[in-house]
Amino acid sequence: QNPKIRKNAVLALEVVFTLSREAMGTIDLEKWKKDQVEWLRQTFDVNSEEIGSNILSVIYHGDEQNGHIHAVLTGCDPSGKLNASYFLDGRAAMIKLQDSYGKMMEERHGLKRGLKGSSAKHEDIKRFYAAQNMALAQEGPEVRTIRGRKETADEYKQLIFKSTIKHFL
């Protein structure tokens, strides 16, 4: 039986788990990876005996500065219907997911959950670089005094660019 899939249906969900550089050196990385899969199963495999697992793929990236995992899931509800809103419908549902994950990571690894209710917003990396390039392209004054030194506008732009990149890494 192949149910009809709506044109605007959510076909897959992506979950990204990240670790800071500091945390990578203090926890058992293999246990952390296994715990990510366990949390995914507990949270998203709502009726795996009858409909199968909602987890399609889990990949660890350890070759970058911050270790992270990408997981791709389907959003099938317990009846087997493609229904991402079963998991993600509304702010309260998202907070519940973050809280349950944070609780597990604190209990098992001593990791702390991010700030609840934070106004921080994720910025798409392409938009970040586009904004950075636009800022660097703008003309600045001929000379600026920074940290007691005189610098040209180009030197100042490079200083700002490097400090901004360090902030995001």
* 24: helix, strand or coil: helix
Which comes out higher in pLDDT, residue 65 or 59? 59
pTM above 0.75, yes or no: no
The model's pLDDT over 122-163, given as tens digits with 9 standing for 90+, comes to 667 777 777 777 776 765 555 555 556 666 767 766 766 666
When pLDDT is cut at 50, 70 and 90, the band that residue 115 belongs to is confident
Evaluate if residue 2 carries a pLDDT over 80: no
Q: Which region, left, alpha or beta, applies to residue 46 given φ > 0 means left and ψ of -120 to 50 means alpha?
A: alpha
Q: Which amino acid is at 168?
A: F
Burial 28-37 (b: 16+ CB within 10 A, else e): ebeebbebbe
Report which of 67, 15, 60, 22 is spatially closest to residue 42, judged by C-alpha positions. 15
Is 45 within 8 Å of 3 (Cβ atoms)? no
For residue 42, what pLDDT is reported? 95
- Residue 79, exposed/middle/buried by CB under 10 A (0-12, 13-18, 19+)? exposed
Instruction: Tell me the pLDDT of the chain averaged across its residues.
Output: 81
What mean pLDDT comes out for the span 49-66? 87
> Scanning the structure block, which residue is given the tokens 């907070």?
95
**How many angstroms separate the CA atoms of 87 and 93, rounded?**
7
Residues 6+ apart with CB under 8 A from 52: none
